[in-house]
């Protein structure tokens, strides 16, 4: 399959890219600093420019998007807007525009995260964004039935990032990047739709 991978840099992105390529897929890697396929998911125009140069896509997968963390009282409207515009609306816009480019019967796979289901200090924006994405994926799967499949991968912190995040997620389980990659492979290659793969 020809797959557009948005957010292909970073620990999660690299693990997912490896898994998809290992299955023989033709992966077009896009991220903010790419020399060939740059994209900023907070900018609908940037998404449009990326998609305009591509054709024959069987799937779009996203490992893109972040949210601000901080004490509840210190997260103001600017921080909330940053989180919404990036991980939530950025991925939604990727699917909205991508639906005009991906072939009928193709699929979309988005990324959410553990804060959708586990309370973590200073993660109120991440919790809201990840929870909203998962609900949106389930509802969109019903509305896109027969046209496209759409799923989400919701991992905990990767083992490879343990040293960086251990203090933020004390006592939480970690997951190997290979398992996250496998979840993306399942989403792309299976018949699943409306699924949230919790890892």
Q: Where are the domains of the chain?
A: 2-198
Other C-beta atoms within 10 Å of 71: how many? Answer: 9
Q: Does residue 166 carry a pLDDT above 90?
A: no
Q: pLDDT digit string (tens) for 14-57?
A: 999 999 999 999 999 999 999 999 999 999 999 999 999 999 99
Out of 3.40.50.720, 3.60.15.10, 3.40.50.360, 3.40.50.1820, the CATH code matching 2-198 is 3.40.50.720
From residue 29, give the alpha-carbon distance in Å to each of 3, 7, 78. 9, 8, 30
% the chain with pLDDT above 70: 100
Q: Does residue 137 carry a pLDDT above 90?
A: yes
Could you give the dihedral angle defined by the CA atoms of residues 7, 37, 194 and 12, in that order, rounded to the nearest 10 degrees? -20
């Amino acid at each position: 399959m020809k797959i557009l991978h948005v957010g292909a840099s970073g620990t999660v992105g690299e693990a997912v890219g490896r898994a998809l390529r290992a299955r023989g897929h033709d992966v077009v890697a896009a991220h903010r600093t790419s020399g060939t396929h740059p994209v900023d998911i907070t900018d609908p125009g940037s998404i449009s420019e990326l998609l305009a140069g591509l054709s024959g896509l069987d799937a779009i997968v996203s490992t893109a998007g972040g949210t601000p963390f901080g004490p509840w009282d210190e997260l103001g409207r600017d921080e909330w807007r940053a989180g919404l515009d990036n991980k939530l609306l950025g991925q939604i816009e990727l699917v909205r525009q991508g639906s005009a480019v991906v072939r009928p019967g193709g699929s979309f796979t988005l990324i959410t995260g553990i804060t959708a289901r586990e309370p973590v200090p200073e993660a109120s924006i991440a919790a809201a964004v990840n929870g909203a994405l998962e609900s949106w994926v389930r509802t969109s799967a019903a509305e896109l039935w027969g046209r496209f499949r759409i799923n989400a991968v919701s991992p905990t912190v990767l083992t490879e990032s343990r040293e960086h995040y251990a203090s933020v997620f004390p006592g939480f389980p970690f997951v190997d990047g290979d398992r996250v990659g496998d979840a993306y492979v399942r989403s792309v290659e299976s018949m699943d739709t409306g699924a949230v793969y919790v890892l």
